[in-house]
Amino acid sequence: MAKDSIVILDGARRTPRADILIKNREPGLFSRFSTTQLGGFAIGATLEHTKVDKGLVGHVVMGMAQHSHRDSIYAAKGMAWRGGLGKDVPALTVARICGSGAEAVAVGAEMILAGVRHDRERPFLVVGGAESMQYPLALYNVRGKALGGAVQKYGPAAASSLPKGTYLQDMLLMSLYDPSAGMAMANTAEELGRRYEISRDEADDFGFRSQTLAKKARDAGWFAEEIEPVRTQLDNAGEPMTVEHDTHIFDDVSRAKMGRLPAAFEPVGIVTAGNASAVVDAAAAMVIGRESDAAEHGATPLARIAGMGVAACDPKIMGWGPVPSTKKALASAGIRGDQIDQVELNEAFAPQALAVIRDFGDMGIDPDKVNPMGGAIAVGHPLGATGAILTLTCAYSLRRTKDRYGLVTMCIGGGQGISLVIESLS
């Protein structure tokens, strides 16, 4: 491995992952925060714990999958100033849908290695991702049409002025439908389930495993060092509260109850609310730089970025994307699958994850090393943030277990996969 490779510095932090709704009835704990605010929380906490002089940060690269708030267009730049960085620090928003957080890590590393736009006077980059899944309802085909007494150019449209029969579309549901595949994301998981002959019982067993392992990890305090608690207030009223843990982890998960949940997307399907990823809001950030710069400035490396890979596949089986991308990442790192000590695989849906794990076995990757602390079925999948969260989770876990190599990987809507191989330095 090259001596001057890219390292993740100790001190990376994330917010808890909070359900977009409480009991599917009330606004979630982070519903009052925009994506840029969540990203700002993560960046600010990371800079505080990393203890790198803010003046040494030359660029910010943050992932975000979808615009959800009025300030979302400013994305990474908004996160940067909210996180305490100066106005002279440029920022880039990257969007590779579910892989956006991992893409931000990759792009940041490539910017440093390429050197073309790298600021040698400010050698460190902040990278990560954020996502508020509080997506709005959208009204289309109104601009330029007469509403009330005027033609609508811009600005708010009064509900009373809208024509009869006008309806709003849910941006969250719209975003989860891929026209190239002709199906929603959950249906691509059902397709993988059919191709790999995965049963409903297998899918529910996997969902139960995820919840059980996540609860064990939370109760053991394994997530504590990576989480920065967030203070909030529900509906700007009542007593302020502190969110310290991922909120979707069940204390009373029951395999029997999970098995009674109805199929959610196809009449005889196997994907249910209990074996699919939870919809949550969250953000994560980390500081990266050359190993030599970390040494020069007295920063502590947590892990080295050893390999990266991105690949594409048939969008009808988009969840299979981590298989080809992992082959590329392993080749990039120059290691074999049986050298991987821990895998953080995003559990978009149980049948999707199970299909990938089966093919990982052919690469020599031990299935028991996949998601030892549970996954998105238990803790949630905040689209643009997930890749960054899994990266720092894997890095801290490798340090705790004194293992060497970790794989971070996820499928991407539209038929892609992205993978990072990291090497622990602690």
* Residues known to be catalytic: 98, 411
Q: Find out whether 77 and 43 touch, Cβ atoms under 8 Å.
A: no
Q: Burial of 162 by CB count in 10 Å (0-12 exposed, 13-18 middle, 19+ buried)?
A: middle
Q: Rounded to whole angstroms, how far apart are CA atoms 405 and 153?
A: 55
Residue type at 310? V
Q: Cα separation of 185 and 319, whole Å?
A: 8
Q: Among candidates 83, 86, 87, which has minimal Cα distance to 50?
A: 83
Sign of the torsion angle spanned by Cα atoms 91, 245, 210, 171: negative
The pair of three-digit structure tokens given for residue 316, joined into one six-digit string? 């009808």
Tell me the one-letter amino acid at 34: S
Neighbours of 185 (CB within 10 A): 26
Burial 44-71 (b: 16+ CB within 10 A, else e): bbbbebbebeeebbbbbbbbbbbbbbeb
Structure token digits, residue 20: 């977009």
Q: What is the sign, positive or negative, of the torsion defined by CA atoms of 211, 396, 306, 406?
A: negative
Cα separation, 132 vs 261, in Å, equals: 27
Cα–Cα distances (Å) from 325 to 7, 114, 201, 370, 420, in that order, read 21, 22, 28, 16, 9
User: Can you tell me the distance from the alpha carbon of 418 to that of 413, in angstroms, rounded to the nearest whole number?
Assistant: 11
- One-letter amino acid identity for 28? G
Q: Residue 336: how many CB atoms within 10 A of its CB?
A: 13
Residue type, 72: S
